[in-house]
Amino acid sequence: MSSRRTVNIFLPSSRRSPARSQAGRGVGHVTSLVSKPGGARGRTAEDCRRGGEGWLDYGDLDSANGDRATGVEACLDSAYIKAHPGSDTNVKKVAPPGYQWARRYAAYLGNGPLGQWVDACHLLGKDLGGDGQKLENLSTCARSTNANQIAPTDSGITEHMYYYEKQVKAAVDQGQVVHYQVKPVCMGPRTVPVAYEMSATGTLNGQPGLMLDDVVPNMMYSNKDSNWSNIGTVTHQGKPLPTGNTR
């Protein structure tokens, strides 16, 4: 992983949709500082390929905290994605830490069916070559954080992870080479993230291309109280949840 900088996690209000605006408040109230990628803003238009080829590095699992995923960094071009097709998740075989807990929490929030509210998020998306059955690439997230909502009663977030993944895929399809990073941000020992940091820098023939640097909050709408909840900030009887081996 490349060097990190510390920045505020607050979402820029000018870019929020109504649903995102309400959901985004949960991130701002959680913590003021997070470790964030060096970011697209500070990068130059350099070809990230190694020996002329794309690459993918998975961060090590955090064994001290339930084997939670720590992030991915990749250099993507069309040849790499063609040679490395991604795969779907199969939570019956491989599920990230906190996945079953998040389903129980979704039920507590008055939501269902549970399969429409909780996902095992790819850090590197399937369309970008991400492995859906590799624990290093999986993280427990709300469906609204991952992609378009499924449940009719889910308000959803417009700028979810797939919203940014589509931009990266479009840039690669246009011939750009894209340096891409995704990092789950967890509060203390919790295994379900509070947010996902996503950044990408593209280059085409030595010229700058795609640039994005944003944060997607791990928010779930509650049909019980008609409000948003960040599933990475839960505390019960003074203890953070979920932690350790809680599945």
Query: pLDDT tens digits, residue range 188-237?
Result: 999 999 999 999 999 999 999 999 999 999 999 999 999 999 999 999 99
Residue 112 resides in a domain: yes
Domains contained in the chain, number: 1
Residue 61 resides in a domain: no
Contact assessment for residue 219 and residue 161, using Cβ atoms and an 8 Å cutoff: no
Residue 190 resides in a domain: yes
Q: What is the pLDDT of residue 44?
A: 56
Of residues 77 and 5, the one with the higher pLDDT is 77
Residue 200 resides in a domain: yes
Residue 87 resides in a domain: yes
Q: What is the pLDDT of residue 45?
A: 62
Residue 22 resides in a domain: no
For the chain, what is the mean pLDDT? 87
Residue 54 resides in a domain: no
Q: What is the pLDDT of residue 35?
A: 47
Contact assessment for residue 157 and residue 23, using Cβ atoms and an 8 Å cutoff: yes
Alpha helices, DSSP H, located in the chain? 18-30, 78-83, 99-108, 143-146, 161-173
Query: pLDDT tens digits, residue range 114-156?
Result: 999 999 999 999 999 999 999 999 999 999 999 999 999 999 9
Task: Kindly indicate the confidence band of residue 46, based on its pLDDT and cuts at 50, 70 and 90.
Answer: confident
What is the domain extent for residue 191?
67-240
For residue 88, give Cα distances in angstroms to 25, 125, 138, 173, 196.
31, 9, 11, 21, 20
CATH number for position 223: 3.40.570.10
Q: What is the pLDDT of residue 73?
A: 99
29: CB partners within 8 A, 6+ apart: none
Residue 196 resides in a domain: yes
Query: pLDDT tens digits, residue range 87-115?
Result: 999 999 999 999 999 999 999 999 999 99
